[in-house]
């Protein structure tokens, strides 16, 4: 039996996902301009953070819609009990890749791109599998990676123009923390609180985009 449909929550999720995807796309395109001019690897992986994060949000939303109707599940021949682990598997992979790209954007001089590609995919796949098994483990691993990203962004000082993106990292970290809180099951997080946090998330992403536009000028 499909979960009870909540029209308000459905439209809130549509609006929230649209704005997040919209700003991810804008930031990805905007940072392409400065990357094309500088060919800076740090900028390249910083912008890929938004590509992977956007994919994670898009897939999570699409899987959520599929889970609302038995017809879709019957059409794609996937058992209902397998949908949630499958959702966690894909979103876990792309979310982890987003965080790893963010981390690598600060340490790219210390490791080759090939080393990062191999290591990041192995780590992301392992975490994705753990996410499919236990959401609690996934949240803990995301928090761990987020802490690493925060520490690296603070410790590693850069004298180049890239040092100006520290404020971008700060805004992105705040958004990520809220995103992890929003992973709490709906029955544990009141709808009003969830809506407020989603509005804050959108505002943070809007501020992030504004900072990116100022940075790229």
Contact at 8 Å (CB) between 161 and 168?
Answer: no
Tokens standing for residue 215: 């940075």
The predicted pLDDT at position 75 comes to 56
Question: How many whole angstroms separate alpha carbon 89 and alpha carbon 125?
Answer: 8
The predicted pLDDT at position 97 comes to 94
The predicted pLDDT at position 84 comes to 74
Give the model confidence (pLDDT) of 42-60 as tens digits.
Answer: 889 989 999 999 998 888 8
Contact at 8 Å (CB) between 202 and 178?
Answer: no
- Give the model's confidence band at 94: pLDDT under 50 very low, under 70 low, under 90 confident, else very high: very high
Question: How many whole angstroms separate alpha carbon 163 and alpha carbon 60?
Answer: 33
Ordered structural domains, the chain, with CATH: 7-215 (1.20.1070.10)
89 three-class SS: helix
How large is the average pLDDT for residues 184-199? 79
How large is the average pLDDT for residues 64-68? 68
Q: For the whole prediction, is pTM greater than 0.75?
A: yes
Question: How many whole angstroms separate alpha carbon 88 and alpha carbon 80?
Answer: 14
Buried b (16+ CB within 10 A) or exposed e, 153-175: beeeeeeeebeebeebbbbbbeb
Q: What is the residue whose two structure tokens read 């946090």?
A: 197
Give the model confidence (pLDDT) of 100-146 as tens digits.
Answer: 998 898 888 888 888 899 999 999 999 999 888 888 888 888 888 88
């Amino acid at each position: 039996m499909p979960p009870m449909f909540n029209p308000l929550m459905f439209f809130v999720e549509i609006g929230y996902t649209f704005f997040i995807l919209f700003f991810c796309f804008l930031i990805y395109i905007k940072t392409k301009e400065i990357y094309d001019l500088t060919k800076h690897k740090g900028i390249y992986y910083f912008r890929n953070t938004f590509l992977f994060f956007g994919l994670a949000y898009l897939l999570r939303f699409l899987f959520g819609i599929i889970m609302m109707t038995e017809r879709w599940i019957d059409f794609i021949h996937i058992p209902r009990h397998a949908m949630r682990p499958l959702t966690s598997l894909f979103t876990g992979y792309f979310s982890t890749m987003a965080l790893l790209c963010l981390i690598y954007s600060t340490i790219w001089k210390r490791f080759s791109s090939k080393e990062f590609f191999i290591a990041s995919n192995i780590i992301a796949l392992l975490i994705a599998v753990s996410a499919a098994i236990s959401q609690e483990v996934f949240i803990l691993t995301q928090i761990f990676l987020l802490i690493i990203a925060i520490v690296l962004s603070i410790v590693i000082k850069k004298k180049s123009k890239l040092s100006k993106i520290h404020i971008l990292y700060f805004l992105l970290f705040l958004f990520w923390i809220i995103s992890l809180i929003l992973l709490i099951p709906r029955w544990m997080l009141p709808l009003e609180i969830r809506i407020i946090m989603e509005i804050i998330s959108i505002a943070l992403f809007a501020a992030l985009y504004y900072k990116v536009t100022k940075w790229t000028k």
